[in-house]
Amino acid sequence: MNDNNGSYLLTIPGQLPGANDYIAAERANRHKAAKMKRDAQSYIAWYIKRDLRGVRIKRPVVLSYTWWEKDRRRDKDNIAFAKKFIQDALVQQGVILDDGWGEIQGFSDDFKVDKTRARIEVRIHESGSEY
């Protein structure tokens, strides 16, 4: 969704694998971890196509993440690990050019609880836009 102010909203329902999930998969079998990343990015890509259809950002961005968890069981750093999957999917889908220093100026994380509707909201702010 575009608010016509250089800012876009991506909403991803549910919860993505956290750092602990990925580390456990990596320790079990590196192919299992690679599959986990591929599956997560495919899932995210579907919502990118829905919410950001045709968006191609050429300028640097700031990403504001709101992580809506169903409870407080997972640590915040474990939850926010999933931004790697999200940013890689944004690049893969052509929304941003890359996820390096020149393309992502920074990001912020906010954590909330919604027992009935876990989700991740990613607000993408183009460089120079108000946020």
Residue 86 lies in a domain: yes
pLDDT band at 2 (very low <50, low <70, confident <90, very high): low
Q: Domain span at residue 27?
A: 7-126
Q: pLDDT tens digits for 46-81?
A: 999 999 999 999 999 999 999 999 999 999 999 999
Residue 93 lies in a domain: yes
CA angle 46, 62, 107 (to 5 degrees): 90
Q: What is the pLDDT at residue 85?
A: 98
pTM of this structure: 0.92
Residue 86 parent element (H or E): helix 83-92
Residue 115 lies in a domain: yes
Alpha helices in 7-75 (DSSP H): 19-28, 30-51
- State the residue for tokens 């899932």: 43
User: Residue 4: pLDDT above 70?
Assistant: no
Q: Are 127 and 60 in contact (CB under 8 A)?
A: yes
Residue 131 lies in a domain: no
The distance in angstroms from the start CA to the end CA of the chain is: 15
Both structure tokens of 52: 């950001």
User: Residue 30: pLDDT above 90?
Assistant: no
CA distance 127 to 131: 10
CATH number (domain holding residue 110): 3.30.1330.70
Q: pLDDT tens digits for 75-120?
A: 999 999 999 999 999 999 999 999 999 999 999 999 999 999 999 9
